[in-house]
Structure 1
Amino acid sequence: MIDGFVLAGGLSRRMGQNKAALLLGGRTLVDRAADTLGSISDKVYVVGNITGETTSLPLIQDHPTKSNSRGSIVGLYTALVNAKTDWVAVLACDLPFITGELMTRMADILRHDFTPHVIAVDAIFAEQPDGRIQPLCGLYRRNSCLPSIKNMLSDSDWRLQRLREQLKSRVLGLAEIEDIPGSESLFFNLNTPEEYRLAVEIEQRQEFDRPFCTRVTKT
């Protein structure tokens, strides 16, 4: 079992409005992310300071911390604190083109790879086309990750990349995910009005391409 958590608590300063409530392909960004997590999680929650008007999913407010820190690491900490399962899936709502196929491939590592290296890992991520790792799309082992995050919050260190460096992780390389449909846009990050307009174009293009895979010609 893997609990799923949509991270929707960003302040959206650059967007100028609540990103979680933006519509893309007829769904809000928060509901898109929830549907994606649903491919591997029976229970999906939303973490962030949003209201029930944005989504009907169970809401969890960001966990208060002594450092009064802000940012995604607080959302991640909140997710792990509230999770009931050993492994936890997290996905930021501003990564709208992450697919259920990618999440499934991450989860399959846990289900089918019992090598010592994988058994010992704390987290599972995927590599972006630019070679970087996106920590807001991944699987985290709750009990081994929480202590590191607590220490970072106590030190007012909010850098997720720093956290990733502290964890033993298994990374899906580009060669392992490049066959996923739409792989070139998987890690598109939506933060500004211009990026939102571009996301709409990408969604329209992907929607236009999808029917050709299964189209039945009428006669």
Structure 2
Amino acid sequence: MKLALLILAGGRSERWGKEKALVEVEGKPLLLHVLERLEGLSEERIISSKPGLGLEVRGVKLVEDFSEEKGAVIGLLSSLPQVRSEYVAVVACDHPRANREVLEKLAERAEGRDGAVPRWPNGYIEPLYAVYKTESLLKAVREAGGEKRLRKVLEKLDIVYVPVEELREADPQLDCFFNLNSPEDLPLLPPRRS
């Protein structure tokens, strides 16, 4: 399977007081944590960011969102047309404990479907740590008619929802799903395990 990596780094970050992708965590920007942890997942790596963020990372294509509007759907609309691979791993920039093996397992489960999205026992899904068929996701976000909630957009797709328990072999503590939404989350950051 040809798989691209798309990191969404375009969201506003009022709670941080600066761009979340550039927030320093353990001595480096949050975005670099994600890139480093997912090294080797794909040769095709794309970052979707808000206009003027000024990011430059060697070997990574930067796509600026066409709008300053908030939301993952805007980032997907802006960047998915640039993806050449049949499938794309979509990861938000605020996952400092991203795990390549988890995404590889999701890619296996996505084969022949529109995507594979992790689901918690309570029904909560992780649409920004998932793998999708590029063409299907692009079509769905284009036809969303202004819908900004990715969860609603996914209802139109043939998604396999993968219980997070099935991903523990790759990430026993499921640290990859921890996301830093605000400075208050920093003390909760799981330790680096690998």
Q: Would you say same fold, with TM above 0.5? A: yes
The whole-number CA distance in structure 1 between the counterparts of 2:165 and 2:83 is 31
Aligned partners of 1:159 and 1:190: how far apart in 2?
A: 19
Structure (1 or 2) with the greater helix fraction: 1
1:95, 1:129 → 2: CA distance?
20
In structure 2, the residue matched to 1:16 is: 17
Matched to 1:15, the amino acid is W
CA distance in structure 2 between the partners assigned to 1:39 and 1:26 by the alignment: 22
Gaps of 5+ in 1: 111-117, 211-219
Q: Secondary structure at the match of 2:103?
A: helix
Aligned pair count reads 190
Contact 2:37 2:97 in 1 (8 A): no
CA deviations over 1:110-133 (Å, ceiling 9, x no partner): 5xxxxxxx52x1111112364311
What TM-score, normalized by structure 1, do the two folds share?
Answer: 0.77
Tell me the secondary structure at the aligned position of residue 108 of structure 1: helix
Which residue matches 2:89? 89
Report the counterpart of residue 4 of structure 1 in structure 2: 5
2:166 to 171, 176, 185: 176
Rounded Cα–Cα distance in structure 2 between residues aligned with 1:188 and 1:161 = 18
Bigger radius of gyration, 1 or 2?
1
Give the % identical residues.
Answer: 27
Q: Given that residues 12 and 70 in structure 2 are in contact (C-alpha distance below 8 angstroms), is that contact kept between their aligned partners in structure 1?
A: no
Q: CA deviation at 1:69?
A: 4.1
Alignment root-mean-square deviation, CA: 2.2
Corresponding residue of 1:58:
61
State yes or no: 1:132 paired with 2:124: yes
1:101 alignment counterpart: 101
Write the distance in 2 (CA, Å) between the matches of 1:171 and 1:98. Answer: 19
Q: 1: CA distance between counterparts of 2:172 and 2:95?
A: 13
Specify which of 197, 200, 217 is matched with residue 187 of structure 2. 197
1:38-53 equivalence runs, <5 A: 38-49=39-50, 50-52=53-55
**Structure 2: 5+ residue stretches without partners:** none
After TM superposition, the score normalised by the length of structure 2 is: 0.86
- The Cα offsets for residues 150-182 of structure 1, whole Å up to 9 and x where unpaired, read as 121xx3210111012221111221331123345
Higher percent of residues as strand? 2
Q: Is the 8 A contact 1:39 1:104 kept in 2?
A: no
